[in-house]
Structures are given as structure tokens and as C-alpha cells.
Chains A and B, each alone.
Chain A
Amino acid sequence: ILNVEQSPQSLHVQEGDSTNFTCSFPSSNFYALHWYRWETAKSPEALFVMTLNGDEKKKGRISATLNTKEGYSYLYIKGSQPEDSATYLCAFRPNAGNMLTFGGGTRLMVKP
């Protein structure tokens, strides 16, 4: 069983705050790390797919970094807005097989 952990489990911030959360995953047999955004009553949507150590990806106010040697990735949101409220999932893909193991998610709530 692959251990993919996310912290914190939930986070409440004020509109305009910047925030970040962590995904930790096995550092061996790494192939890719995915980030998904999951709004209530919808389905998860892919944000980033990261494959190289030191990768940094950005989409608008959201960015992510990757450290495969130590097995962690950070997701940053700059100037949080209420519409950023969602659960953010990371998922680890090992070398063998095209299957993702998901972390438990970080639930972000942004208050106006």
C-alpha cells in the first residue's frame, strides 16, 4: 500500500490570504505527482502533472513545487478568493502501472 499523506486536512483562511499545503509520497519508484481541485458536488479536475525533481508549475494564482528526493510537493495559492474553496488532492504515480494513489485531500475554505 502506497502512503500518500496530505496536510493539513482542512484550512480556513480569509479572502486575500496566501496559503500553502503539503503532499508527501514515497520517494522511491517515483514517476509522477498529480494535483487535482475538487469542488463540492463536482468531480476532481486536474491542476498539474509534475514529473521532474525541482519542477515548478503555475496556473494563475496557484502554483506547485516538487521534491522527489525527499518525497514532498507543496501547493501554493496566492491571494485566496472564495471561489478557491475546494478540496485539493494530490496523487502519486509510481513507475509501474498507470494508476494513481490519492491522498486524503486538504479542504480549503476561504471566507469573504
Chain B
Amino acid sequence: DAGVIQSPRHEVTEMGQEVTLRCKPISGHDYLFWYRQTMMRGLELLIYFNNNVPIDDSGMPEDRFSAKMPNASFSTLKIQPSEPRDSAVYFCASSFGGAYRYGYTFGSGTRLTVV
């Protein structure tokens, strides 16, 4: 398996534009997580899915953020409109079951810069 695949690796966009981040989890994993990493707050959970269903989105900062998982092999995180304070590295991670033995597998992240 190629691991968790995120795209793009880097995104630079202007304030007010829509940004879509993409994630392909490991085949067979039934949980998918979106995390955001900033200097101030470290790694914080935004939302997670189980079997494609959103379970907890309490970490989503505000209505400008939305996430979908239309099938077991694809998820998107959308920011519309984007703001400079959204600049961060966004990680997607997946796990099988409760991650009892192997923990989460993280993607390489998308570094978002909003100017």
C-alpha cells in the first residue's frame, strides 16, 4: 500500500479563494481523520469519519470549513472563503478499527499558505 496520500503537497492561495484539500486513506481502514498543525496550537483534530460517516466535527473552526467523505477511498476538506489565519499544515490520517495496535497512519500533509 502506498500509505495515506494527500494532495496537493503545497497550496498558495489568495484570501477569499476556495481551497480544497484531498486525501486517500489506506485501503481497508475504516477511520479517517483531518488534523491541522500550527505553531500556536500544535496538532488539533478538525473532524473524523467512521465508515464514511462524520462522527465528530467539533474541531472544525467555523462554517467556512467543510469536509466530505463520499466513499471509502476519498475525502476532501474545503475552506471557503480562505483567510490568512487558515495558513497551516493540514494532515489526513487513517486507522483500522480503534487503532489498538498500530496507531494512526498519517499522510505527508498539505502546507497551505493564504496570502
A-to-B contact residues, CB < 8 Å: 31-32, 34, 36, 42-49, 51, 89, 93, 97-105
CA distance A48 to B104 in the complex (A): 10
Residues of chain B at the chain A interface (Cβ within 8 Å): 4, 31, 33, 35, 42-45, 48, 50, 55-56, 91, 95, 98-109
- With A43-B91, A99-B33 known to touch, is A36 a contact of B107 (CB < 8 Å)? no
Chain B min CB distance to A34 (Å): 5
| Given known A43-B108, A98-B31, A99-B33, contact A51–B42 (CB-CB < 8 A) | no
Q: Other than the known A100-B33, A100-B45, A105-B42, what 15 A-B pairs have Cβ atoms closer than 8 Å? A: A31-B98, A34-B99, A43-B106, A43-B108, A49-B101, A93-B98, A97-B55, A97-B56, A98-B48, A99-B48, A100-B104, A101-B45, A102-B42, A102-B44, A104-B42
A99→B45 CA distance, assembly (Å): 8
Q: Complex: how many Å from CA A51 to CA B107?
A: 25
Q: Which 5 A-B pairs have the closest CB atoms?
A: A46-B103, A43-B106, A102-B43, A104-B42, A44-B106
Task: Specify which chain A residues have a CB less than 8 angstroms from the CB of B108 in the assembled complex.
Answer: 42-43
Residues of chain B lying within 8 A (CB to CB) of residue A44: 43, 91, 104, 106
The smallest C-beta distance from A57 to any residue of chain B, in angstroms, reads: 11
**Distance between B43 CB and nearest chain A CB, rounded to angstroms:** 4
- Quick one: closest A residue to B92, CB to CB? A43
Asked whether A32 lies within 8 Å of B43 as measured between CB atoms, the reply is no
CA distance A89 to B105 in the complex (A): 14
Nearest CB in chain A: distance from B33 CB, A: 7
Write the nearest CB–CB distance from A56 to chain B, whole angstroms.
16
How far, in Å, is B98 (CB) from chain A's closest CB?
A: 5
Complex A-B: 29 CB contacts under 8 Å:
A31-B98, A32-B98, A32-B100, A34-B104, A36-B103, A43-B106, A43-B107, A43-B108, A44-B91, A44-B104, A45-B106, A46-B102, A46-B104, A47-B103, A48-B103, A49-B99, A49-B100, A49-B103, A51-B100, A97-B55, A97-B56, A98-B31, A98-B50, A98-B95, A98-B99, A99-B45, A100-B33, A100-B104, A105-B42
